[in-house]
Structure 1
Amino acid sequence: MNRPASPALPDRLPGDPAPPLLAGSGLRKSFGLTRALEDASLSLYPGEVVAVMGPSGSGKSTLLHCLAGVVRPDAGTIEYGGQDLVTASDPRLSALRRSEFGFLFQFGQLVPELSCLENVALPLRLGGWSRRRAERSAAEWLDRLDVGGLARKTPGECSGGQGQRVAVARALITGPRVVFADEPTGALDSLNGERVIRMLTEAARETGAAVVVVTHEARVAAYADREVVCRDGRTLDTGARG
């Protein structure tokens, strides 16, 4: 007598925790004779803000660049949404950085020849949006971050804190699933730094983006859901996901 086939089990049962959106494991990376990462790991969940802390030279920026597909690790695995980023093609990684990843750097890295409005609209223009539509969305983001009055000014006409808020708008305008922030407050005074990190984390949570923020400042890490400490190229997760 033939038995009926057993139903296929689902990959994840109701009540099981969601899988990480981005996960790097066993990452190693050397630059010449200098070992930057030595068995580093980090998992990031949808909508989560994770602070990567550690002293200068600990490997935290290299870890961020590997997770973002900017630098390929020498060993280890990186998965994003079920995709293997270590073996992904350069065009595929470029497409992810244009549409699904957002970036915020210590000095903003705005294009000095463009207005603030044009800087924020740039990722959308590169994605094929019309100028009018892209700049309309950019204006909305500038208003949202309280720098709408700077739309027609160039980055050189802005203060450091203003320019960094413009950079936050540019990082978030495409609706990225992950934002990578590398020392985003490192060039700012404490008041402006706190304002920038608060606006970044609040806006990211409103849009559902996950954030990896590299910092050595405890006041910045205080805005994160979880901290990962990087030291000598290794990582230690200091807090369980809530």
Structure 2
Amino acid sequence: MSHAIPSEAPATGHLSDAPPLLYGVDLHKAFGPSKALDGASLHVRAGEVVAVMGPSGSGKSTLMHCLAGILRADSGRVVYRDDDLTTMSDAHRSALRRTEFGFIFQFGQLVPELSCLENVALALRLGGARQRAAEARAAEWLEHLEVADVAAKRPGEISGGQGQRVAVARALVTGPSVVFADEPTGALDSWNGEKVMGLLTTVARRTATAVLLVTHDARVAAYSDREVVVRDGRTREPV
């Protein structure tokens, strides 16, 4: 895990040559009689952006939640590095989400009572960082995401596009290995959506951060290295 923001992408070779950083194999998940996942599989490598696409109700958000350790699959395996999330304790999975994973949601979900700077710093504070150091690092990320001018403002005082860039800064400030982005541009107009995606994918590739991106928008998926389609709880990659 690294907090650095390199100015150039690292020379990591071809992504297809690298082993998966995170993968799920033959995942099944049901909610009562309804099957959300029916043998889904997916992998992502460091520095790779994978778009998970599919119609509403196809199971793509459930797949992301299982891969992130938020939900426990009924069967199958989810492996991050050498750790199997499906057999991991709740406490261990919670710690993993706090230290190794970052999350971006459709509506940002920033804390309304905190300033934008405090929202980004909060992720570091929860990990034990001192306030001054956390806020200094948060300020760097706000500048990198081109929203340094809103640092002192609260989420209700800024635009949706600015708020989502603050949310991206919050997801990346801890130096996660994997970022899970669930419809991150769904509440934005096309210009702001493209701005957010451009910044997110550029920074992710520079820092070798894997990104799993749930979207139904082909324009958003175009920023990915690879697409995986989920339909009826199963996965396939377009030819």
**TM-score normalised per structure 1:** 0.91
Residue type of the alignment partner of 1:205: R
Note the alpha carbon deviations across 1:89-130, whole angstroms, 9 max, x for none.
111111111111000000001001110000000110000000
Aligned position for 1:35: 35
Are residue 234 (structure 1) and residue 198 (structure 2) matched? no
Residue type of the alignment partner of 2:65: H
Residue type of the alignment partner of 1:220: V
Query: Which stretches of structure 1, 4 residues or more, deviate above 6 A after TM superposition?
Result: none
Aligned position for 2:94: 94
Q: Superposition pairs for residues 202-213 of structure 1, below 5 Å?
A: 202-213=202-213
Q: Superposition pairs for residues 48-197 of structure 1, below 5 Å?
A: 48-197=48-197
Query: Over aligned residues, Cα RMSD in angstroms?
Result: 1.0
Aligned position for 1:45: 45
Deviation for aligned residue 1:19? 1.9
Distance 1:167 1:17 in 2: 31
- DSSP 3-state at the match of 2:25: strand
What 5-or-longer segments of structure 1 have no aligned partner? 1-15
- DSSP 3-state at the match of 1:142: helix
Note the alpha carbon deviations across 1:46-103, whole angstroms, 9 max, x for none.
1110000011101000000000000001111111101100011111111111111000
Residue type of the alignment partner of 1:194: E
- DSSP 3-state at the match of 1:196: helix
Note the alpha carbon deviations across 1:129-179, whole angstroms, 9 max, x for none.
000000000000001111001011000001110000000000000000000
The sequence identity of aligned pairs, in percent, is 68
Distance 2:17 2:52 in 1: 23
- DSSP 3-state at the match of 1:95: helix
Residue type of the alignment partner of 2:122: L
- Greater Rg by CA: 1
Note the alpha carbon deviations across 1:21-47, whole angstroms, 9 max, x for none.
111010011112211111000011111
- DSSP 3-state at the match of 1:139: helix
**TM-score normalised per structure 2:** 0.92
Distance 2:18 2:92 in 1: 25
- DSSP 3-state at the match of 2:153: coil
Deviation for aligned residue 1:208? 1.0
Note the alpha carbon deviations across 1:195-231, whole angstroms, 9 max, x for none.
1111111111111100000000000010000000001
Structure of greater relative contact order (alpha carbons < 8 Å, 6+ residues apart):
2
Distance 2:224 2:36 in 1: 24
- DSSP 3-state at the match of 1:26: strand
- DSSP 3-state at the match of 1:156: helix
Note the alpha carbon deviations across 1:4-32, whole angstroms, 9 max, x for none.
xxxxxxxxxxxx94321111010011112
Residue type of the alignment partner of 2:134: A
Q: How many residues of Structure 1 are paired with residues of Structure 2 in the alignment?
A: 224
Distance 2:46 2:115 in 1: 33
Distance 1:143 1:193 in 2: 18
Residue type of the alignment partner of 2:218: A
- DSSP 3-state at the match of 1:112: coil
Residue type of the alignment partner of 1:76: G
